[in-house]
Amino acid sequence: MALGLLLGLRFLGDEAIHFSNIGLNLLLLLVSAKLAVFLHEWGHLLFAKLAGGTPRRMVLGRGSEIARTEWLGVKIILARNFNLGLAYAGFDDSKRLHFRLACYYAGGFILNFSLAFALYSSLDLEFTFAEGLYLESSFFLANVITGVSALFPYRLSYQGQKVNSDGLSLVRLPFRTMEELVALTAANDFLDALDYFEEKQYSKCLVIYERYQTKNPKNKFINLNLALVHMKLGDVPKAIGLLEELIPLAGDSAYAHLKLPFYNALAWIYLLKDQIELADQYSKMAFDLSDENEAVKNTRGSVLIEKGEMEEGLALLKGSVNFKLAND
């Protein structure tokens, strides 16, 4: 609609053409920004590969998934709101891991800045956007903005959880303990488990998590993953037991990033057991932490419906449905 309106302005004379040019260049900038995000994530995976890692997956956008494909061994997932991206790679070798991770974290903005520099040095870029249409200039600006925004050390919200920017990841990297770095070498195993989980091969997924648990008996982070798999396999008592082990740890700062999926998982499993009061308690706790996360909204909506609060529950569920494009 906006595109049609801007093109229509071109028939109204010189002054209107200036406004049309400005609007169309802004649209080109928005499209270029999405392409710059895509290239940014490829930069992470490319430099992870150059540093001896294994590129595994890329997630573009947030919200419900609308499409996925695989290219060069990388799973690419497109979500509803394509306004940011995440890239995942695994490192099996713990040698020089600080350097490997630095390459991985910096790869996104390095690629953005490299493309911007190549355009700036080889083309005569124009920035008077009222005078014409400038695809190259829009692409240059999009890469500069994407690269600079990634460099700032801050935390952003993704699906209701806090994620480090590339800049913050680099700032914190020298202070990561060797134990933390070695744990990162399990990323390939966890990404394998995620693949199996999405393919509904839960038994294979369980083997990976149990092997990790055996090697790291003091690490309770794995309980959440194990509980979700046991829930899918129908062993609800086992899942509840694993999750309830985490309840005393909920106030521990080391487990703060697990609160959202942990409370949501407890809410859903109590809902399955028809323990509505407990489901209500934990779904509210998850929803209070984030009312943006799709899974949390869906659980809260389902619990409210079971409580008889139909209108409020349906409003949450409808907010997660794209009526123009089918999804889960």
- The per-residue pLDDT for 113 is 97
- The per-residue pLDDT for 225 is 92
With contact defined as beta carbons under 8 Å apart, do 85 and 39 qualify?
A: no
Closest C-alpha to 100, from 109, 110, 111, 89: 89
Long-range interactions of 316-324: CB distance < 8 A, separation 24+: 320/63, 320/64, 320/294, 322/64, 322/66, 322/80
**Between 294-306 and 276-289, two packed helices, what is the crossing angle to 10 degrees?**
150
**Residue 288, both tokens:** 């209070």
- The per-residue pLDDT for 313 is 92
- The per-residue pLDDT for 277 is 95
Look at the block and give the residue holding tokens 């040019």. 21
Q: 60 - beta bridge partners?
A: 78, 85
Closest C-alpha to 48, from 103, 97, 109, 96: 103
Which alpha helices (H) appear in the chain, and where do they start and end? 2-8, 14-50, 97-122, 135-151, 166-172, 178-184, 187-198, 202-215, 222-232, 236-244, 259-272, 276-289, 294-306, 310-318
pLDDT in tens, the chain (328 residues): 666 665 555 566 666 666 676 777 788 889 999 999 999 999 999 999 999 999 999 999 887 788 899 998 899 999 878 888 999 998 887 788 889 999 999 999 999 999 999 999 998 887 777 677 778 889 999 999 999 999 999 888 777 677 889 999 999 999 887 777 766 777 889 999 999 999 999 999 999 999 988 888 878 889 999 999 999 999 999 999 998 888 888 778 777 778 888 899 999 999 988 999 999 999 999 999 888 888 899 999 999 999 999 999 999 888 777 666 655 5
Transcribe 279-327 into DSSP letters: HHHHHHHHHHH-S--HHHHHHHHHHHHHTT-HHHHHHHHHTT--TTS--
Sign of CA dihedral 71, 77, 83, 88: negative
Whole-structure pTM value: 0.84
